A and B are shown apart, each in its own frame.
Chain A
Amino acid sequence: MSDFLADSVSWLPDLLRGLGHSLWLTFVSLLLGLPLGLVLGYVTERTTSRPLRWLLVAVIELARGLPALVVLYLIYYGLPSVEVVLSAFWSIIAAFTFSNAGYVSEIVRGAIRGIPAGQLEACQALGIGRARTFASVIAPQALRISTPSLVGYAAIVFQSTSLAVAVAEPELLNAAYNIGSITFQYLQVFIVAGALYAVVVIAASRFAGWLATRTQY
């Protein structure tokens, strides 16, 4: 048991570096996916053009329907055959941003439907333009309503960054795998890595739960 502890402690620096990189992947793909999803959700929800709505719904369904790993392989292994070569890092970011935008837009559409229609009518009646209405009335409220769901979703994104092991990106699972391949203590190292994932995810969902209790103005 004390061996396990001592080993774990000696692996920690590598594992924590991997964890840091997993968090970084989560952060960057959400940073790009959030605004994209917000706009996508808003336009899909509010557009009066049917063809546009269908097109956007198709994009959203595709982004949510395709497994992130499939998208990642398409980008990393598939695109080079049409002369588009992205590094492992940017392939992951592109793949995750795509599915994030899809999921975020669904969350945001729900939130936009939760904003009383009267407030949007008030904007119209006051002669306030659409862009201004979105930026100052819809977006802040939609974000506030959807923050708990978004934090919960961020935890899922963090978990799925482990898929990046498939393209040898140095994130947490990759770091654990490397340690295992040197020490052959796969069981122990994956237990420690699993615990690190769990700690972050549980903390995030607790935080989401707490946020949910205080989304009122």
Chain B
Amino acid sequence: MSLLNTTPSPDATAAPGGPLLVVDSLTKSFGDHTVLRGVDLHLDKGEVVALIGPSGGGKSTLLRCINQLELPTSGQVTLDGTPLVSTRGGAVVAPSAKALLRVRRQIGMVFQSFNLFANMTAEQNIVFAQRAALGTGKDEARERARTLLERVGMGHKAGSHPSQLSGGQQQRVAIARSLALDPRVILFDEPTSAIDPEMRSEVLSVMRELAEAGMTMLVSTHEMGFAKQVSDRTVFLCDGGILEEGPSRSLLEQPTHDRTRQFLRAIAEG
């Protein structure tokens, strides 16, 4: 069963105009603390990329710069050829509120802490997102919410508030909420880190289905199993830069850098 309402055309990855998402020489500093020092990254349509690396290496900051939750210090992000970062005279400037909303509606984001609206049920979360962001009509929004909840296996909890759901259940609702806006790409920031280990697989399997349905995904994760089995490519981000990247299996099984090897060993030892 497809999690998306549109199945990608077979030649989707050969889309004209190059990759769907391009991160170009992105830097980010907080005051004089430089967190990202020139990151280059691209995702083809339908590609799933795992972002791994030590804590504090800048994974969250990179994801947040892509959808402009943080204003990059320099560099550019393009989505399907459209630049997302506003610049004036070569310098990054805060985008207009309108431009920001437009960018963010096309880029889904799934957070480590789920961030469902506590005052709404699972279904209301998804209905509200569509109505507020896209102006979808009530009936259409509700129908889509029901369908998406079914698809993430949460149809039976449509009327529950987040406080009545387990972490894994909340995260599945959050994924459905993100999908409801039909994003071009979804960013996941350690989507299973705040979930009890025995509940993680329910979220990972939803993500795997999404990947199989052709969704473009950039996933910051400590789940090496997911990275190896689901992601096409793995990127190792360390000290604010990409140290190495490559097809997931080869990078995870035969890393070329000592630093990567060290990191993978530390993860394996838990």
Residues of A within 8 A of B (CB): 115-116, 118-119, 121-130, 132-133, 136-137, 140-141, 144, 216-217
Residues of A within 8 A of B67 (CB): 125
* Chain A contacts for B129, CB-based, 8 A: 126, 128
CA distance A217 to B162 in the complex (A): 8
Query: In the complex, are the beta carbons of B115 and A122 less than 8 A apart?
Result: yes
Query: Of A126, A128, A140, which one neighbours B119 at CB under 8 angstroms?
Result: A140
Q: Is the CB–CB distance between B132 and A126 below 8 Å?
A: yes
Identify which of residues 89-113 in chain B touch chain A, using a CB-to-CB cut-off of 8 Å. Answer: 97, 100-105, 107-109, 111, 113
Q: Which of B100, B105, B108, B117 contacts A119 (CB 8 A)?
A: B117
Contacts of B104 in A (CB 8 A): 124-127
What is the CA–CA distance of A132 and B119 in the complex, to the nearest angstrom? 14
| B200 contacts A by Cβ under 8 Å | no
| A–B pairs, 24, beta carbons within 8 Å | A116-B113, A116-B118, A118-B111, A119-B115, A119-B116, A119-B118, A122-B115, A122-B116, A125-B69, A126-B104, A126-B181, A127-B104, A127-B133, A127-B181, A128-B133, A129-B132, A136-B132, A137-B117, A137-B119, A140-B119, A141-B118, A216-B163, A217-B119, A217-B161
Chain B, interface residues (CB within 8 Å), range: 20 to 34
Nearest opposing residue in chain A for B125, CB measure? A122
Chain A residue nearest to B121 (CB atoms) is A217
**How many angstroms from the CA of A95 to the CA of B115 in the assembled complex?**
41
Asked if B146 lies at the interface with its beta carbon under 8 angstroms from chain A, I say no
A216: B residues at CB distance < 8 A: 163
Which B residues are CB-close (under 8 A) to A118?
Answer: 111, 113-115
For residue B177, CB closer than 8 A to chain A, the reply is yes
Q: For residue B133, which residue of chain A has the nearest CB?
A: A127
Chain B residues in the interface with A (C-beta under 8 A) = 67, 69, 97, 100-105, 107-109, 111, 113-119, 128-129, 132-133, 161-163, 174, 177-178, 181
Shortest Cβ distance from B84 into chain A, in angstroms? 12
Q: Is the interface of A mostly helix, strand, loop or mixed?
A: helix
Residue of A whose beta carbon sits closest to that of B163 = A217
A129, B101: Cα distance in complex, Å: 7
Contact of A121 with B115 at beta-carbon distance under 8 Å, contacts A127-B105, A128-B132, A136-B128 already known? yes
Residue of A nearest to B109 (CB): A125
Q: Please, which residues of chain A bring their CB within 8 A of the CB of B117? A: 119, 122, 136-137
User: A121, B69: Cβ atoms under 8 Å?
Assistant: yes
A28 and B113 CA atoms in complex are apart in Å by 41
A217:B118 contact, CB within 8 angstroms: yes
* Docked CA distance A123–B100 (Å): 12
C-alpha spacing A217/B119, complex, angstroms:
7
Q: A127-B104, A129-B97 are in contact. Are A121 and B111 (CB under 8 A)?
A: yes
Q: Would you give the shortest CB distance from B130 to chain A, in whole angstroms?
A: 9
Interface centre among A118, A128, A130, A140 (most CB of B within 10 A): A128
How far is it, in angstroms, between the C-alpha of A120 and the C-alpha of B111 when the chains are bound? 12
Q: Are B119 and A141 in contact (CB under 8 A)?
A: yes
How far, in whole Å, are A137 and B120 apart by their CA atoms in the complex?
9
Known: A116-B113, A118-B115, A132-B132. 6 other contacts (CB 8 A): A119-B118, A123-B132, A125-B69, A126-B129, A130-B97, A144-B119
Contacts of B178 in A (CB 8 A): 126
- From residue B215, how far is it (CB to closest CB) to chain A in Å? 16
B24 to chain A, nearest CB (A): 22
Whole-angstrom distance between the Cβ of B62 and the nearest chain A Cβ:
15
B residues in contact with A137, CB < 8 Å: 117, 119
A119 to B67, CA, bound (A): 16
In the A-B complex, the 3 residue pairs with the smallest Cβ-Cβ separation, listed nearest first, are: A127-B105, A118-B115, A122-B115
CB-CB under 8 A from B109, the residues of chain A are 122, 125
CA distance A208 to B69 in the complex (A): 38
- Distance in angstroms between the alpha carbons of A133 and B114 in the assembled complex: 17
A116, A133, A136: which contacts B115 (Cβ < 8 A)?
A116
Pick the contact of B102 from A115, A126, A127, A141 — CB < 8 Å?
A127
